[in-house]
Amino acid sequence: MSRTRIKICGLTRAQDVRAAVRSGADAIGFVFYPPSPRAIDIDRAAELAAMLPPFVTAVGLFVNPEPAEVEAVRARVPLQLLQFHGDECEADCARYGLPWIKAARMRPGVDLLEFALSHPRARGILVDAFVAGYGGGGETFDWSLIPQGFGRPLVLSGGLDADNVGEAIRRVRPWAVDVSSGVESAKGIKDAAKIAAFIAGVRHADG
């Protein structure tokens, strides 16, 4: 059975980065969306990204950004992957020359196959709950909305935590899982024990 990759998103503190890396996270997400309580400024993100060891991916999350905003982040922060969580089209995402993934906000009526076809160069499709604002709402969605045999690398997000991630993996079989609020003690403040428990839950589900 393949190993489910794990991204811990919305990190703002050095101790949280260390906890995620120590527990075995594959990727760390930095939020560059000012309305988010997990938003981070460029200087701080650069400091935290510099802490990452080899083979832990630094991901930058953006929501409907101006190109200059993304370029300003890229100039300072060594990102390896971009994540677009707004209403960006294929050209908006692909213009920066970095690998990227695109988030689909799931609710009844969303055709995930059609969505994926509209973003053919995305390295993967992230599925999240449709909530007010963009992401980080801590809400699950109906996983049956994901079509069988989707055929693209799928990143499952939305309300995951140590208690439900095992069931989520067994039912959806995603390429990766992405968690933020499910490993927090407060918005933007991660809990090392919750991170460890979440990753242990993923590994147990992997067998």
The catalytic residues are 9, 128
d(CA 20, CA 199): 9
Angle formed by the axes of helices 192-206 and 165-172, nearest 10°: 30
What does the alpha-carbon distance between residue 10 and residue 19 come to, in Å, rounded to a whole number? 13
Round to whole Å and give the CA distance between 98 and 100. Answer: 6
Tokens 């988030």, residue located: 103
Q: Taking a C-beta distance cutoff of 8 angstroms, is the pair 32, 2 a contact?
A: no
Do the Cβ atoms of 126 and 155 come closer than 8 Å?
Answer: yes
Strands 184-186 and 27-31: unpaired
**Residue in the block written with tokens 């996270």:** 25
